[in-house]
Amino acid sequence: MFAVRGLGFLNFLLQLKRYLLKLKSRKFPIIPGSIISLFIFMAVFGEILSPYPATKVSLPEKFLPPFFLTKGSMDHPLGTDMLGRDILSQIMAGARPSLIVAVAVLAFGGLGGTALGIMSGYYGGKLDVILMRAADSTIAFPIILAAMLLAIILGPSIQNVIIAISLIIWARFARVIRGEVMSVKERDFVALARVAGASGTQIMFRHIFPNVAHTMVVMLTLQAGYTIIVEATLSFLGAGIPPPTPVWGGLISRGREYIRIAWWIPFFPGMALALIVLSFNMLGDWLREIIDPKLRQV
């Protein structure tokens, strides 16, 4: 028995070595990875390390430009807004709500949609029809509009934003994972598990789930950026996280009124939003190339 366990552990180490060599041969996207790491660092430590409290008002310092423009200074590197609040401090503090929403939505909507997709693909029948019609109806409806309606009905708060986006995004995971399961469940190892007396739950989460986990990981990475975009859009429209919590969408919304006289107020939060979403998309594409056997061959 110990010899078998030893061989299994050795095989695991060999597979891990092969996988690490594949990662080394396909260069990790350093810039997107660095931006995501900086985003997570700001979300965790931003309020502690920010030069000023994000909500601190200083009317004598309102509309100060960034340091590289005339009258700008390093006291406020990215300038101040209409109330004299430091833009850099607000961007750093605004990373935390975005990360909280993204993680919570992917945990509830992403993992929940994955579980429903596995059950739908494995059992089929009426359950499959009901779940997929619900998923198709959800996907067909514009996600921004649906999330905005749900957020307005439930009321503006971070909890309701998470609920609203989760109720929309699960369908994307369920539809894609269900297609993967339809293929996996026809393989020999699933038939052997049935013959061995494994229950449906054991087959789904012990045999099928590991074979669709790579697709789920790629989708989680790609949908993280999209979730941040939806949260920012809701906050921009006034249906997301309410003030005084600093959020990037709210900063852009308030700054658009002053774009002619203080363009930096909406510009820098918008740039931060664009960079983090683009970084998540690039990281997701890299993961897909690493994990997907068809793309690895190309």
For residue 171, what are the contacts with CB-CB under 8 A and spacing of at least 6?
Answer: 113, 134, 135, 136, 138, 139
Q: Is residue 242 part of a domain?
A: yes
Q: Is residue 14 part of a domain?
A: no
pLDDT score for 25: 56
pLDDT score for 188: 84
Domain with 115 in it: what CATH number?
A: 1.10.3720.10
Q: Is residue 225 part of a domain?
A: yes
Convert the pLDDT of each residue in 158-202 to its tens digit: 888 898 889 889 999 999 999 889 888 888 888 888 888 888 788
Is the pLDDT at 87 greater than 80, yes or no? Answer: yes
Convert the pLDDT of each residue in 28-77 to its tens digit: 788 888 999 999 999 999 888 888 888 888 888 899 999 988 888 888 99
pLDDT score for 295: 47
Q: Is residue 105 part of a domain?
A: yes
Give residue 22's pLDDT band: very low, low, confident or very high (50, 70, 90): low
Q: Is residue 20 part of a domain?
A: no
Contact 173, 219 (CB under 8 A): yes
How many domains does one find in the chain?
1
Q: Is residue 219 part of a domain?
A: yes
Q: Which two tokens mark 254?
A: 């308030």
Q: Is residue 5 part of a domain?
A: no
Domain ranges, residue 252:
27-297
Q: Is 236 exposed, middle or buried (0-12, 13-18, 19+ CB in 10 A)?
A: buried
Bridge partners of residue 86, in order along the sequence? 80
Q: Is residue 72 part of a domain?
A: yes
User: Which one, of 156, 288, 142, 151, lies nearest residue 218 by Cα?
Assistant: 288
